[in-house]
Chain A
Amino acid sequence: MAQRGRNVAGYVFISPWLIGFLLLTLWPIAQSFYLSFTDYSMLADPVWTGLANYRHMFGDDDSFTKSLKVTFTFVLFSVPLKLFFSLMVAMLLAKNLRGMNVYRTLIYFPSLIGGSIAVSVLWRNMFGADGYINAILAWFGIAGKGWISSPDTALGTLILLNTWQFGSTMVIFLAGLKQVPQELYEAAAVDGAGSFRRFFRITLPMLSPVMFFNLVLGIINSFQMFTAAFVITKGGPVQSTYVYAMFLYEKAFKHFQMGYASALAWVLLAIVAALTAINFLVSRYWVFYEAEGGREG
């Protein structure tokens, strides 16, 4: 009886969160699953069409294939680049130098602005045909180009932008680096291990759980990349930056095909879930947890 009373009290205490979750998260998710089987313009009632949306998607929608290609390219380049770059910066900032806190603050500072509209507008001004990059190139007599208006470089500028926003990934790496016991380095140094060897034999294995965490989050975030493509390139030119989220947004809010957009969202979820599952499966071969007593290989 007392046990039950306690349970009720518990549920009452979490009810604001619970109700919010049920109404604002679970219900819309269920709705969108239903809508993915309908033709729904948002202003008229949805019409059940069965698997027609999915058939169109995998059958004859060029934009779907194109946006998948663009998104995978983006993920393939931006995730490793960002991991590499933020690990390098984190290692620099992990050194015990005088005034390091100032450097850490300065380097992390741009990340406070985050992946915002303002940064995207800045990027547009840097890489535009009349942008700063071309102005600098002109000093050296090099004729620039419209970086964001050429199909072969537009996606590159977005990847660069994503890499530059390394702050939060870097902070997690930094925390991980601080966690590596100094004794290991000292012992390895006594045994004559060089700095490369120490990095590959100590830092990387000790850091692998953090690396795994960053990798999984990085892949998920990159798949959802939207703001930069929306603000800087609008998906163009020639759909070269037509990332999946951009495609989904246009279907939903520009072409009023909410049913189709819902189907797209579920396919995105399936893709991201599958990749995350693969990540977890593969992780046992390279992620090293100290607490498990070094179960490796």
Chain B
Amino acid sequence: MMMRKGSKFWALLAFAALLTLAGCGGSGGNGGNGGNAGSGNASPSASPSGGSSEAPSSGDGKAPAASVKLGIMWWGADDRHEATLKALDLYSKQHPGTTFAPDYMAWDGYWQKLPALAASKTVPDILQMDAAYIQDYVAKGVLEDLSDLDLGGIVDPAVIDNLKIDGKLYGIPLSQNAQGIAFNKPALEAAGISLPQKNWTWDDYFAFAREARQKLPKGKYGIGDASSAWDWYNWYQTGNGGKPLMGDNGKTFTLDKDLFVKYQQTFADLRKEQAVPPPDKSLSFVENDPSADPMASGVVMTRGATTGSVAALYTLMPDQVDVVGIPTGPAGGGWAQSTIFLSVSANSQHKEEAKAFLKWFITDPDAGQTLKMTRGIPINPDIFKQLEPTMEPKDLIGKKIYDMSVEKALPFYSIAQGFTEWVDTYKSTMEGVMFGQTSIEDAYDKLNKLGQQIAAKNA
């Protein structure tokens, strides 16, 4: 009797232990996949590069008749996913034998997944790249040199030269992009707040926030709290004539103390005046989430938006969105240039096929018709002309951001090699300032010290 009871106990115990261990293993190894699931990765394909290595090798990789499966990965919203999948089908129809293993997700998940793929050398053949990160990935040797791809007559040579890193081209520009600010036009008009004007200054911007405080009900705000966004501060510093935070491919670092303190103090004052949302509210915003987007939820009247991304916001609040450029200083403001690229993995087995696809992607009229404005204003003027008559309001608004910004635009500043850590530290340190746990002076010292250390390491 005792015996039977005992064995039952141990069986249960073993079973329970098994469950615990399984749970523990799961939580430990979930890193990469976790991000995707969290950000709504809808891709059914398991490993993007798995496809390419399974495909029968075509000898020197040049025989076009052999069947090739190209791994391709991009980030974006649903409309971009659907359009791109259609374009891939089109390519497969035009080029029998070439098929794709697509993997697509939202921005956050993409940049969580890519480092793991790069580390395990399983980056898909073709991958979308962003100007914010391309330098870092080039430095890590992940991307193939595409300088020999002939883009004459498709992309302005000046644009190509501008994009070269150490004299080489690592990404084919897909579109003209620009940074601006979207605002809720009917709501501002209804409250009698003067609308943002083209080429407005930082002073105008902060005055706008204070005017909105007076004319809007409690709990609604003119602008968001941009204390902990490093790129906003970088626009402020460069717009006011300062050097970019990270210069010379990350070999120099400049955090202007006067400008930094002035900028952060202004936001601290605005927080006190309740002209920006309280910190716990600011940190709970999720862009393009209908109930948590700062603008779509109706809480904030403005937010940052780019030519390539504003359509998603417009879809959430049709006919309410208008746009203006980033506030300017004496030196200018914001940026207007190509920031979305397609790159080829340095480890790809099918580099030639991948390059051919890249060229097709920005030249084929049918591809242009399929992809429309899902990655911003097409870089190829012919494609743009072809699309222009059929553009919808959500596309035109993206074009408007570009037109608003181009006159005063400064260069696009990316996160230089090794500075991802600094950007994360900027965010957490400035969150400490937002919640009143850290002084602006201390934050400056900490950020300046770390920035100088990383720059010294890069030099």
How far, in angstroms, from A254 to B32 measured CA to CA in the complex?
11
| Contact in complex: B420, A254 (CB < 8 Å) | yes
| Contact in complex: B431, A238 (CB < 8 Å) | yes
| Contact in complex: B435, A151 (CB < 8 Å) | yes
Shortest CB-to-CB span from B185 to chain A, Å, is 24
Among residues 250 to 294 in chain A, which have CB atoms less than 8 Å away from a CB atom of chain B?
A: 250, 253-258
Report A-chain residues with C-beta under 8 Å of the C-beta of B38: 117, 120-121, 231
| Contact in complex: A43, B421 (CB < 8 Å) | no
Among residues 79 to 127 in chain A, which have CB atoms less than 8 Å away from a CB atom of chain B?
A: 111, 114-118, 120-121
| Contact in complex: B37, A117 (CB < 8 Å) | yes
How far, in angstroms, from A258 to B427 measured CA to CA in the complex?
22
Q: How many residues of A contact B (CB 8 A)?
A: 59
Asked if B107 is an interface residue, CB under 8 A from chain A, the answer is no
Once A and B bind, how many residue pairs between them come within 8 Å at the CB atom?
147
How far, in angstroms, from A121 to B280 measured CA to CA in the complex?
19
Asked if B9 is an interface residue, CB under 8 A from chain A, the answer is yes
| Contact in complex: A146, B280 (CB < 8 Å) | yes
Q: Of the candidates A179, A217, A253, which one forms a contact with B31 in the assembled complex, judged by CB atoms under 8 Å apart?
A: A253
| Contact in complex: A226, B12 (CB < 8 Å) | no
| Contact in complex: A171, B12 (CB < 8 Å) | yes
How far, in angstroms, from A129 to B299 measured CA to CA in the complex?
12
Asked if B26 is an interface residue, CB under 8 A from chain A, the answer is yes
| Contact in complex: B27, A168 (CB < 8 Å) | no
Report B-chain residues with C-beta under 8 Å of the C-beta of A130: 284, 291-292, 297
Q: Of the candidates B13, B28, B435, B446, which one forms a contact with A226 in the assembled complex, judged by CB atoms under 8 Å apart?
A: B28
Asked if B142 is an interface residue, CB under 8 A from chain A, the answer is yes
Shortest CB-to-CB span from A226 to chain B, Å, is 5
How far, in angstroms, from A33 to B34 measured CA to CA in the complex?
26
Report B-chain residues with C-beta under 8 Å of the C-beta of A37: none
| Contact in complex: A255, B421 (CB < 8 Å) | yes
Report B-chain residues with C-beta under 8 Å of the C-beta of A41: 140
Q: Of the candidates A44, A168, A236, A258, which one forms a contact with B431 in the assembled complex, judged by CB atoms under 8 Å apart?
A: A236
Q: Of the candidates A43, A117, A120, A151, which one forms a contact with B141 in the assembled complex, judged by CB atoms under 8 Å apart?
A: A43
Q: Of the candidates A118, A146, A175, A245, which one forms a contact with B284 in the assembled complex, judged by CB atoms under 8 Å apart?
A: A146
B140-171 vs A, Cβ < 8 Å mask (1 yes, 0 no):
11100000000000000000000000000000
Known contacts A41-B140, A179-B5: A230-B19 contact under CB 8 Å: no
If over half of B's interface residues share one DSSP class (helix, strand or loop), that class is named, otherwise mixed; here it is: helix
Beta-carbon nearest neighbor of A221 in chain B: B24
Report A-chain residues with C-beta under 8 Å of the C-beta of B282: 149
Give the interface residue-count category, chain B: 35 or more
| Contact in complex: A237, B13 (CB < 8 Å) | no
| Contact in complex: B16, A237 (CB < 8 Å) | no
Asked if B247 is an interface residue, CB under 8 A from chain A, the answer is no
| Contact in complex: A225, B27 (CB < 8 Å) | yes
| Contact in complex: B424, A145 (CB < 8 Å) | no
| Contact in complex: A253, B428 (CB < 8 Å) | no
A228-247 vs B, Cβ < 8 Å mask (1 yes, 0 no):
00110001111100100100
Shortest CB-to-CB span from B303 to chain A, Å, is 16
Asked if A178 is an interface residue, CB under 8 A from chain B, the answer is yes
Q: Of the candidates A43, A128, A172, A213, which one forms a contact with B119 in the assembled complex, judged by CB atoms under 8 Å apart?
A: A43
| Contact in complex: A238, B435 (CB < 8 Å) | yes
| Contact in complex: A238, B292 (CB < 8 Å) | no
Among residues 413 to 459 in chain B, which have CB atoms less than 8 Å away from a CB atom of chain A?
A: 420-421, 424-425, 427-428, 431-432, 435, 437, 446
Report B-chain residues with C-beta under 8 Å of the C-beta of A256: 115, 119, 140, 420
Asked if A157 is an interface residue, CB under 8 A from chain B, the answer is no
| Contact in complex: B283, A237 (CB < 8 Å) | yes
| Contact in complex: B9, A115 (CB < 8 Å) | no
Known contacts A43-B140, A115-B23: A179-B9 contact under CB 8 Å: yes
| Contact in complex: A224, B424 (CB < 8 Å) | no
Known contacts A43-B142, A239-B428, A254-B424: A168-B280 contact under CB 8 Å: no
Asked if B281 is an interface residue, CB under 8 A from chain A, the answer is yes
Shortest CB-to-CB span from B427 to chain A, Å, is 7
Asked if B20 is an interface residue, CB under 8 A from chain A, the answer is yes
Asked if B279 is an interface residue, CB under 8 A from chain A, the answer is yes
| Contact in complex: B140, A230 (CB < 8 Å) | no
How far, in angstroms, from A179 to B35 measured CA to CA in the complex?
43
How far, in angstroms, from A169 to B6 measured CA to CA in the complex?
19
Beta-carbon nearest neighbor of A258 in chain B: B119
How far, in angstroms, from A226 to B26 measured CA to CA in the complex?
10
Asked if A150 is an interface residue, CB under 8 A from chain B, the answer is yes
Q: Which 8 A-B pairs have the closest CB atoms?
A: A146-B280, A129-B284, A149-B283, A175-B12, A149-B284, A146-B284, A150-B280, A43-B140
Chain A residues in contact with chain B, CB under 8 A? 41-44, 62-63, 111, 114-118, 120-121, 128-130, 145-146, 148-151, 167-169, 171-172, 174-176, 178-179, 210, 213, 217, 220-221, 224-227, 230-231, 235-239, 242, 245, 249-250, 253-258
Contacts A/B (CB < 8 Å), 13 sampled: A114-B26, A117-B30, A130-B284, A146-B280, A171-B12, A179-B5, A220-B24, A221-B27, A225-B27, A227-B27, A227-B34, A255-B424, A256-B115
